């Protein structure tokens, strides 16, 4: 017999597995000592609105019968080694999930990745952190798994119309993620666990007969009038396929330059830019959980989401938190020498003493009149210029410019800085010398408003670190809303964050799946294009 129920539990009852089982069985008046009764949570969310934190739980209890699997997804993929092939440029979430979906549909994916496999990337990340050396082909953004691999692994998305979120989660579980991601309202995996999971995704592709080419940079497209036939790599190799999914991520500026040089339609796109702010995690916990000392042994490190509409020189723009990392670290995410970019990540336990979040202001194209000369690359060139100013301000290394929060609001240079999780180090700088006026003034308004919403948030015991600039792609590669195909170049499928159609691991994965489905439906199933040799 199966029983389902909804509960309001204390943190201990929700997060201590033995106490949870005892609590549930007592409420159902079932014998706790019966080993043939199994209880599990199917959904869990934290309600911290009141003085006492509650955990809202949906649960299942199986009485004298085996529990049904929480996940139905397996790794039984067909062999496609001799099947028609498609090309996928980029091995981030969009590219990997596009490849797996192609395999399910009986098509061979050729995944081309400019960076290294996930474990080899670690040496290049260490070189950024310790020696301030940025490898433009292997860094926090480029390499197997993309920018998502060495990140918090946040899996929460609002993009429910783009695909089946549960399906993506179950595929991740089948490749090594804990089943907790199927339960938590705001699931995450953790930067320490993501590399192994990404390896397993790659192994599924290879075992099914797909190909994954590392250290292989696409430098040109093979075009026949308005059709794409394949790509050319840095070694001059021509790789052909029945379509190309372009899933290169939001930082592949050379691809945007290539598209523009080939007169392939692209568009400048609004994005957001600002700083990353770092507080003590204990301070955020005390604010969010209304506790006097600490959050206790059961509650997870608390997060926050903040937004405020600012008005500056008659223009209204949003300032908002982005990619909040409780119990996390700030990392250097530059993709080229001569720039400073910061991002956040968290391990699975979220046990760092720091909390960090991007605090960014919306940037509209009308805010950038002096960059109009760059056409569709206007927002990207603005983004790059701010990153270069941050590098100069930080001393031309990966040392990041920083300022205490209240000092920034009051336009005062900080005499000293706080301890930080940012390994390359910080330099006290007037952040107004780095940030454009319209960004800095909006951030000040936002910080003041956030201090009203979260008492204690606006403090000089926090510091801003710059710059947080890779929130989303500053370029959109247009595509048809129904077919997902580029409106001019046949066989080209812009995909994921880099094309402007996703904003995180799950939404990128769903977009990758749908691009694979659309391409295969149009060019493989119908046979409307024959693969040609060049």
Tens digit of pLDDT for each residue in 468-491?
Answer: 999 999 999 999 999 999 999 999
How far apart, in whole angstroms, are the C-alpha atoms of residue 450 and residue 439? 16
Residue 190 has pLDDT above 90, yes or no: no
How far apart, in whole angstroms, are the C-alpha atoms of residue 154 and residue 131? 29
Rounded to 10 deg, the angle between the 93-104 and 194-207 helix axes is 30
The DSSP call for residue 396 is S
Token pair, residue 322, equals 């982005």
371 CB-side CA count, 13 A? 21
Cβ-based neighbour number of residue 176 at 10 Å = 15
Residue 177 has pLDDT above 80, yes or no: yes
What is the reported pLDDT for 156?
A: 75
| Cα-trace Rg, the chain | 24
What is the reported pLDDT for 512?
A: 97
Full-model pTM: 0.95
In this structure, the chain runs to a length of 534
CA angle 216, 331, 382 (to 5 degrees): 75
Q: How far apart are the first and last CA of the chain?
A: 63
81 burial level (CB within 10 Å; 0-12, 13-18, 19+): exposed
Question: How much is the mean pLDDT over the chain?
Answer: 95
Residue 136 has pLDDT above 90, yes or no: yes
Residue 149 pLDDT grade (very low, low, confident, very high; cuts 50, 70, 90): confident
Residue 12 has pLDDT above 90, yes or no: yes
**Cβ atoms of residues 185 and 43 within 8 Å:** yes
Residue 148 pLDDT grade (very low, low, confident, very high; cuts 50, 70, 90): confident
Percent of the chain with pLDDT over 70: 97
Number of DSSP helices (H) and strands (E) in the chain, helices first:
13, 22
Q: What is the mean pLDDT of residues 401-422?
A: 98
How far apart, in whole angstroms, are the C-alpha atoms of residue 175 and residue 181? 13
């Amino acid at each position: 017999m199966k029983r389902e129920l909804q509960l309001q539990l204390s943190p201990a009852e929700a997060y201590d597995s033995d106490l949870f089982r005892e609590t549930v069985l007592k409420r159902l008046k079932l014998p706790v000592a019966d080993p043939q009764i199994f209880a599990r949570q199917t959904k869990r969310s934290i309600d911290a609105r009141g003085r006492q934190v509650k955990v809202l739980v949906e649960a299942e209890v199986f009485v004298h019968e085996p529990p049904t699997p929480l996940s139905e997804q397996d790794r039984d993929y067909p062999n496609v080694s001799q099947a028609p092939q498609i090309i996928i440029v980029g091995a981030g979430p969009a590219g990997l999930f596009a490849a797996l979906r192609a395999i399910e549909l009986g098509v061979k994916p050729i995944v081309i990745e400019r960076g290294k496999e996930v474990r080899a990337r670690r040496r290049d990340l260490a070189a950024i952190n310790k020696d301030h050396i940025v490898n433009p082909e292997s860094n926090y953004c480029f390499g197997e798994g993309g920018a998502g691999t060495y990140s918090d692994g946040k899996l929460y998305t609002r993009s429910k119309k783009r695909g089946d979120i549960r399906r993506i989660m179950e595929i991740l579980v089948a490749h090594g993620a804990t089943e907790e991601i199927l339960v938590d309202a705001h699931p995450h995996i953790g930067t320490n666990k993501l590399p192994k999971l990404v390896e397993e995704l790659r192994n599924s592709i290879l075992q099914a007969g797909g190909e994954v080419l590392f250290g292989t940079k696409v430098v040109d497209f093979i075009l026949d009038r308005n059709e794409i036939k394949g790509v050319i790599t840095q070694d001059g190799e021509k790789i052909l396929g029945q379509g190309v999914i372009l899933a290169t991520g939001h930082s592949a500026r050379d691809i945007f330059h290539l598209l523009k040089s080939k007169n392939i339609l692209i568009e400048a796109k609004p994005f957001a830019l600002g700083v990353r702010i770092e507080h003590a995690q204990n301070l955020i916990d005390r604010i969010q959980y209304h506790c006097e000392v600490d959050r206790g042994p059961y509650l997870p490190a608390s997060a926050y989401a903040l937004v405020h509409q600012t008005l500056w020189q008659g223009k209204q723009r949003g300032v908002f938190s982005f990619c909040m990392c409780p119990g996390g670290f700030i990392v250097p995410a530059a993709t080229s020498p001569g720039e400073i970019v910061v991002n956040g990540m968290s391990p699975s336990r979220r046990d760092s003493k720091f909390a960090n979040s991007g605090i960014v202001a919306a940037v509209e194209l009308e805010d950038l009149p002096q960059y109009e000369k760059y056409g569709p690359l206007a927002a990207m060139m603005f983004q790059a210029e701010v990153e270069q100013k941050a590098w100069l301000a930080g001393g031309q290394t990966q040392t990041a410019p920083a300022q205490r929060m209240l000092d920034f609001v009051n336009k005062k240079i900080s005499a000293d800085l706080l301890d930080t999780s940012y390994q390359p180090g910080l330099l006290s700088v007037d952040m107004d010398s780095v940030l454009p006026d319209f960004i800095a003034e909006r951030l000040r308004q936002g910080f003041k408003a956030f201090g009203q919403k979260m008492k204690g948030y606006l403090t000089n015991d926090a510091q801003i670190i710059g710059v947080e600039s890779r929130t989303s792609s500053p370029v959109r590669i247009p595509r048809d809303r129904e077919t997902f195909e580029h409106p001019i170049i046949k066989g080209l499928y812009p995909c994921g964050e880099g094309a402007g159609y996703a904003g995180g691991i799950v939404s990128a994965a769903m977009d990758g799946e749908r691009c694979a489905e659309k391409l295969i439906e149009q060019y493989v199933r119908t046979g409307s294009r024959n693969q040609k040799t060049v």
